[in-house]
Structure 1
């Protein structure tokens, strides 16, 4: 007996492997998927500007990454004793101007080093509403809790969003002519917009992605995270306490669907191997000083050595330290 409406998810036209270089940009959902990929040691650059909610900010982030721009004091503003950038999430903000600039520019440097080899991008769109500074008309990525009087807020029309998404594709194709792009719409509802306005916003994003998919059939696929959340996981037990964000269980469920769609058998097998290693690291033995447990640790270290020899970019330094500390 089926107890939910099942979303039919087609197998992706391409598969992700550990040799892929991944760039994730977008909303909180991009963060969730990015963290999952990082946990499994994929080669990932996740949200170098922090969380980006709207397509314009994502397109702008890609342009800045491809440029030689270095952020300077004139690019920041101060509000209530904290320095911010309108291009960045508040995770880059600081009470010291120098620290804010250092966080922004060091992240840009590391991301730019990875950008030329990016083979797959995962773009998560959150909203069609975009805030503009009244003083300059500049669209902003984050309002940083400034009063509404400083902004003009507008929902972009389908043609505008589609054009922005097309710009995203053009920028990425110049970067890598064979790039694959997975578009998703964030399942997180923007309730401050109101129920109806949120639906109009999400519908605009969905229609724009559909147009881009038609225009770039060899490069673009769509993963239905929004549909899975709205239909398969419509029960409120799959939501966090705010009743808007997906719960950890829902994120894990959507992640499993994502893996089924885009991971090939070899990749899934490596992921299983790494999962066993993680469980071994987290294992709490009855007797930590026993010879059997020490052998268990040495075998786990050997498994890490084998997997890192095959995939040198695996950053397993913390795991190795954790295991070796248990031998002392």
Structure 2
């Protein structure tokens, strides 16, 4: 009995391996995939400007980074003594305007450096609904809990999205001719907009992504949204809020991404690194038994071996704390 509808996803021509350089940006689902890549020791720079949902803001922060554009100081806002920027998430925050500007400049320089050499750029589009601020109708990435009357909400047209990304992609490929760009539409449901409005928004994003894929041979689409809607068509694959995919759903979509976009020659390393993570989370029946101490010793040797080529500093710290706790 078949209990789900599956569909084929074309395999990528230029796949990701452990020598790739990856930049991930967009909605919270971008962080999910980015974190899974990081956990498996792929080199990733993930959401430097915080979680961004709308495509205009996503395209703009990357283009501004490449062009080394100064920020628009009119878009700086002060909330509860903290300085934030309408063009970025509230994760980008400082205690003074000068500190905020220096922080954003640092993030732009970091982003530019990675984009110039990245083999893959993963862009997750969250919503086509945007909020415009001020008389200039400036699309903001985040309203930062400011009064609603300061903003106008509207739905983007696919042409606007294509125009914004065409400007960025033309600049990117001029600087980095070998880059591969992967678009995906977030499977997270924006139900606060309304169910019909969420579906309309996702449709606009999907149409824009398709237009970009047909325009550029280095632009591709990975169907995260479609996997959630069709292969995982059941509320049991959502968290309790019925909005975000569950851990199981995230893992399923990751596996589909892995089979499509990850070089199979990296699979052995992925399995090894996943095993190390499981070993670190292992809860022994008797922490002081000779068998468990030997298990920890073997794990330590394994981490030392892989640390020659990969960053296992966090894992080594975790293991060191376990060993210290056991009096070693």
TM-score (norm 2): 0.90
Q: Structure 1 residues 270, 232: closer, same or farther in 2, change over 3 A?
A: same
Q: CA–CA distance in 2 between the matches of 1:249 and 1:164? A: 34
Q: CA–CA distance in 2 between the matches of 1:114 and 1:194? A: 37
Q: Structure 1 residues 94, 242: closer, same or farther in 2, change over 3 A?
A: farther
1:81-117 CA-to-partner distances (Å, cap 9, x unmatched) read 4321111111223565566556544444443443332
Q: CA–CA distance in 2 between the matches of 1:73 and 1:289? A: 59
Pick aligned residue for 1:318 from 311, 314, 317: 314
Q: Which moved more, 1:177-186 or 1:204-213?
A: 204-213
Q: CA–CA distance in 2 between the matches of 1:168 and 1:68? A: 13
State the match for 2:29 in structure 1.
29
1:253-305 CA-to-partner distances (Å, cap 9, x unmatched) read 11111111111222111010111111222223334344443332232222223
Q: Structure 1 residues 136, 159: closer, same or farther in 2, change over 3 A?
A: closer
State the match for 1:125 in structure 2.
125
Q: Is the 8 A contact 1:13 1:221 kept in 2?
A: no
Q: How does 1:150-165 map to 2 (within 5 A)?
A: 150-165=150-165
1:32-69 CA-to-partner distances (Å, cap 9, x unmatched) read 11111111121111111111111111111112222335
TM-score (norm 1): 0.90
Q: CA deviation at 1:201?
A: 1.7
State the match for 2:175 in structure 1.
175
Q: Aligned with 1:243: secondary structure? A: coil
Q: Structure 1 residues 225, 237: closer, same or farther in 2, change over 3 A?
A: same
1:284 aligns with 2:280: no
Q: Which ranges in structure 1 are unaligned for 5 or more consecutive residues?
A: none
Q: CA–CA distance in 1 between the matches of 2:212 and 2:33? A: 22
Q: Structure 1 residues 164, 84: closer, same or farther in 2, change over 3 A?
A: same
State the match for 2:255 in structure 1.
256
Question: What is the aligned residue count?
Answer: 324
State the match for 2:137 in structure 1.
137
1:4-34 CA-to-partner distances (Å, cap 9, x unmatched) read 2213222222211010110001111101111
1:116 aligns with 2:116: yes
Q: Which ranges in structure 2 are unaligned for 5 or more consecutive residues?
A: none
Q: Aligned with 1:90: secondary structure? A: coil
Q: Is the 8 A contact 2:68 2:109 kept in 1?
A: no
1:66 aligns with 2:62: no
Q: CA–CA distance in 2 between the matches of 1:178 and 1:44? A: 17
State the match for 1:204 in structure 2.
204
Q: Which moved more, 1:278-287 or 1:74-83?
A: 74-83
Q: Structure 1 residues 137, 53: closer, same or farther in 2, change over 3 A?
A: same
Q: Which moved more, 1:267-276 or 1:78-87?
A: 78-87
Q: CA deviation at 1:207?
A: 1.3
